[in-house]
Amino acid sequence: MTTIAQVKTLVRPLLERHADLGLAGRWIYVKPVHHLARVVLIDRQLDPNKFRPRWAVAHLFEARRFLPLNWGELLLNERSETPGSWKVTDADLALAMTEAIETHALPVLRGIVSLDDYLTFVSGHYFRHKLFDWPHVKIVIDVALGHLDAARALRDANVDRFGDDPAYDEEGRAKYRRIRQLCARLDADDRPGLAALLHEWEAITVKNLKIEKLWEPTPFPLELEA
């Protein structure tokens, strides 16, 4: 599946059936898009006659250049004798894709509405460690939820990890610079400043993913606490 035009043709029946879906390139987003990207990706492969669809969910407020696919699953073509291999020559391809997404992806993605839903889902996933055991990820989630004591505990336990290290590549150093910004505002108990950082990072991700038309900026739980 090599072209965006082919993707549009393939998923048109699905989009016509579901008003809460939006297409951005090869990515189908479940709307509304707030702090989470709930997506199905129609991913290309080296063989132009093959493609690989998968669904995933990820938070947007980390100033991402691309969307990670850690927390999701591959989709299978249950109408094919080789369900793990999708080919443009498969019979009833659009129908098979619609069925796979409606049956296996949408029920899960639509059930993940809040950040708490997101954590519940990720906690049961094989790659849960990429959120719960990675301090630079977990601290951002804790701040977004307003769990500032938990965020401070992570900061205190990871002072060295969050420092600048010439061994990191530029992207890694930029990531930890952002974390240090977050920690400085934690030190000052600056809730508005923390929220502003998260909104800024989310907007950067949205721009990089080219989903401005799908995104609806909303407050974080951090901002809604009394």
Instruction: Give the global pTM.
Output: 0.94
**From CA 86, how far away is CA 78, in angstroms rounded?**
10
**From CA 94, how far away is CA 16, in angstroms rounded?**
12
Question: Contact, 75 vs 102, CB < 8 A?
Answer: no
Please report, in tens digits, the pLDDT of each residue of the chain (226 residues total).
568 898 999 999 999 999 999 999 999 999 999 999 999 999 988 888 889 999 999 999 999 999 999 999 999 988 887 778 898 888 889 999 999 999 999 999 999 999 999 999 999 999 999 999 999 999 999 999 999 999 999 999 998 888 877 677 888 889 999 999 999 999 999 999 999 999 999 999 999 999 999 999 999 999 997 5
Q: Which two tokens stand for residue 134?
A: 């990675």
At residue 1, the pLDDT reads 54
What HEC string does 142-210 produce?
A: HHHHCCHHHHHHHHHHCCCCCCCCCCCCHHHHHHHHHHHHHHHHHHCCCHHHHHHHHHHHHHHHHHHHC
Helix (H, G, I), strand (E, B) or coil at 115: helix
**From CA 115, how far away is CA 135, in angstroms rounded?**
17
